[in-house]
Every structure is written in structure tokens, then in C-alpha cells.
Amino acid sequence: MNYPNGKKTAVKQWGNSKSTRTGYSNRGMTLEDDINATNEFYCDTGRGLIHKKPTPVQIVNVHYPKRSAAVITEAYFKQPSTTDYNGVYRSRHIDFEAKETKNKTSFPLANIHEHQMNHMESVIKQQGICFMILRFSTLDKTFYFPAELLLELWQDKIQGGKKSIPYDYVEKNGCLIPLGYQARIDYLSVIDQLYF
Amino acid sequence: MNYPNGKKTAVKQWGNSKSTRTGYSNRGMTLEDDINATNEFYCDTGRGLIHKKPTPVQIVNVHYPKRSAAVITEAYFKQPSTTDYNGVYRSRHIDFEAKETKNKTSFPLANIHEHQMNHMESVIKQQGICFMILRFSTLDKTFYFPAELLLELWQDKIQGGKKSIPYDYVEKNGCLIPLGYQARIDYLSVIDQLYF
């Protein structure tokens, strides 16, 4: 697995491998909450510009009452055809999916949809920076896992290979994301190391 | 106005300045239709990966009937906080807004919302490739107009300057986008010229 700057993947740990949060004020926060807060901090400080995409909805009926806003009265959730987050950092396109599992020993690949993998493959072809943020919530560990590797494992699975990614594999081939107060899930610092 | 490769803006015309479409099969197509078809072609051929973002919707009520899909029964349109299109091309982040006017002599800046301009400013700061695709539909001309220039004009407007961009200015400082059969609005060819 080669990165654009020639570095090989390796587990990188910034500072203490335990959470650098003091106290437990973030307890109960979902991964999505943490990422949204991180993105907001990145955006406010000009560090990067990454957004969650709106949930795709198929609108069927809209009511237009007089003197007030249009009301959507019938709509359905559509399956997303892309990843959930994208944006721009130091001129490069950033594209990622976030997944959480309570499983302590492995991450089930069934959590990822085929169209999301297809999208990630296309992003890689266009040399975007593409990855999955993967949280083992019971272990309280959050990893940066490169889409290139994910794609390999996915294709392997289709051909009858493993149906999940063992935790040890993630620990060895991903990067532990440092936690902080404001950039709670500071994934851009991982990207700095891998790409710049 | 300087581009990353040092080239100055100039009106560039590829091939015939008249539409290269033969016949009028596309008549009645909106700019959005044309851009979506172009993006699909780019995506299918691996040329680039650019998508329209889903319309942001505030979901208020969801009904979960037994044995069938969840139905959103009350939702409202939210003002988009970003541009409509983004993606990745040759490793760079692409971000743009598409606007159409029937006006023959100028484009009214009132068509652009403040939060969209703020977003564009942030994209520029992160060195993304940011622009507006601007169609003068009555004249059947579609231009690539750099966000950097748009921002200047917008700030000028706030300080009491012109409320619209004259057509001549767009023609002089933008780039006429070549039209084709499959890539109907071939804006990536303009980006090739300006950035690569």
C-alpha cells in the first residue's frame, strides 16, 4: 500500500494512546457528533473545509400554503450513492465515510454498501484523499483506515474471503486518530502525516 | 486575477464559438439538466467525479408503516449553506455553483446568496478550484466564471458598487465553455487549460 508521498502505512499514535480528553464530558457522543464538531472547528479556524452531505430524499409531494413556507408532505429516504463527508484541504479533495461498531474484535464489511465502495474506487482513481473513519466504540478507539485497503478487503470478500476486518488488522494498517478538545477527532493531522 | 499556473484570465474559445450541437435536440434543457448529463458522462468515462449535492431538507416527522418504507410526512426546504456541485478531478477539489439568467446584458448578483459567497471564499482559501457556471440562456452562451472574481464583485456590491455583472465583463474575464454531445457543458476542458 503506497501513499502519494511514498510512505507506507503504519500505526501512528500522536501523544498518549489513551484518550487525551480529561473527564467524560463527551460520553454518549456518537461518532457523527464528534465528526461534525471537528468539521465545525476546522471550518471556523480555516484549517479545512469539510461538510456532511445532506441526507438524500426523494420528494413526492409538496404543499404550498399561502403566506408560509412550502411543506414537504410526502418524501422517502434514498440510499446514498456516495460517501457521507467531503471537502477540501490544502487543495486536495477529501472524501470519507464514518462507521462505528460495538464489536470488539472486528469490523463487519456488511456495514458498507456496494455503491459506497464504487464511489470510493472512483475517488481513488481521481487521486482524491479517500478513507473511512472507523470507531470501535466499546474500545473507545477511532482509526483512519485508507480506502485503498478497504477496497482490497472488499474485493477479497466478494471472492469468498473474510467478511470482516479484524481489529488487529485495523490497528496495524490504519492510523489511530488523536483525540482533542476542539478537534475531537483530529483526522487532518493524520492526513498531514500521510500526504504532506 | 492570477491563476495557480500564472495564466491570466482571458476569453478562451474552443473550436467554433457557435454551439457545436447539430440540430436542436437539447432545446428546452435547463442548465441543471446539461450539467447533470455532463457529470454523468465524466463519471462513466472516468474523466472526473463531480456530483450535485442533495437538496438539504429539515425532516420534522417520519411515519414508519409496518412492512413498508419509512415515509417522511413533514419536512421543510433548508437554504443550502454551500454550493450545489462538488467533486474531485486530477486530485484537486472542484466546487461550483450554476446560475442561469434570461437577461441579455448582465447577471444580477442578487441571484447569489451570501452564505454561498462565504462558502466559495473558504474553498478558495483551501486552494480548491472554485467557480460559477453562468448561462445567459437567451444568448445561448455558457461561461466558466472564476470564484475569485465573483468574490471581488460581490464585495464591491456590498460597498455600494454594481449590483450586476455586465455581459461584456463576463465575456472578457470568464471562459466560454465548449459545448459537446456527451459532455454537453465541457467545463473540465476549461479547468485543464487554467490549472494543469
Distance CA B97, CA B32 (A): 10
Is residue A79 very low, low, confident or very high in pLDDT (cuts 50, 70, 90)?
confident
CB atoms closer than 10 angstroms to residue A166: 12
Is residue A179 very low, low, confident or very high in pLDDT (cuts 50, 70, 90)?
confident
Distance CA B59, CA A90 (A): 34
Distance (Å) from the C-alpha of residue B69 to the closest C-alpha of chain A? 8
Does the beta carbon of B95 lie under 8 angstroms from any beta carbon of chain A? yes
pLDDT of amino acid A29: 81
Does the beta carbon of B82 lie under 8 angstroms from any beta carbon of chain A? yes
A vs B: CB pairs below 8 A: 115
Q: Which residues on chain B are in Cβ contact (under 8 Å) with A53? A: 53-54
| Closest CB from A54, A76, A91 relative to B128 | A91
What share of chain B has pLDDT > 70, as a percent? 86
Distance (Å) from the C-alpha of residue A45 to the closest C-alpha of chain B? 11
| Closest CB from A55, A71, A126 relative to B48 | A126
pLDDT over 50 (residue A12): no
Burial A71-85 (b: 16+ CB within 10 A, else e): bbbbbeeeebebbbb
pLDDT over 90 (residue A101): yes
What kind and span of H or E run contains A79? none
Of the two residues B24 and A13, the one the predictor is more confident about is B24
Grid cell digits, residue A37: 464538531
| Contact between chains at A59 and B57 (C-beta distance less than 8 A) | yes
pLDDT of amino acid B162: 94
pLDDT over 60 (residue B185): yes
pLDDT over 50 (residue A14): no
Q: Which residues on chain A are in Cβ contact (under 8 Å) with B82? A: 51
Q: Which residues on chain B are in Cβ contact (under 8 Å) with A73? A: 73-74
Q: Which long-range contacts (CB under 8 A, 24 or more apart) does B32-36 make?
A: B32/B98, B34/B142, B34/B184, B34/B185, B35/B85, B35/B98, B35/B133, B35/B185
pLDDT of amino acid A181: 86
What is chain A's mean pLDDT, rounded?
87
pLDDT over 50 (residue A137): yes
pLDDT of amino acid A95: 97
DSSP letter at B129?
E
The number of CA neighbours under 13 Å toward the Cβ of B28 is 3
What is chain B's mean pLDDT, rounded?
87
Grid cell digits, residue A135: 470507531
Does the beta carbon of A11 lie under 8 angstroms from any beta carbon of chain B? no
pTM, rounded to two decimals? 0.83
Q: Report the complex ipTM.
A: 0.81
Report the range of poorest mean pLDDT among B66-75, B121-130, B144-153.
B66-75
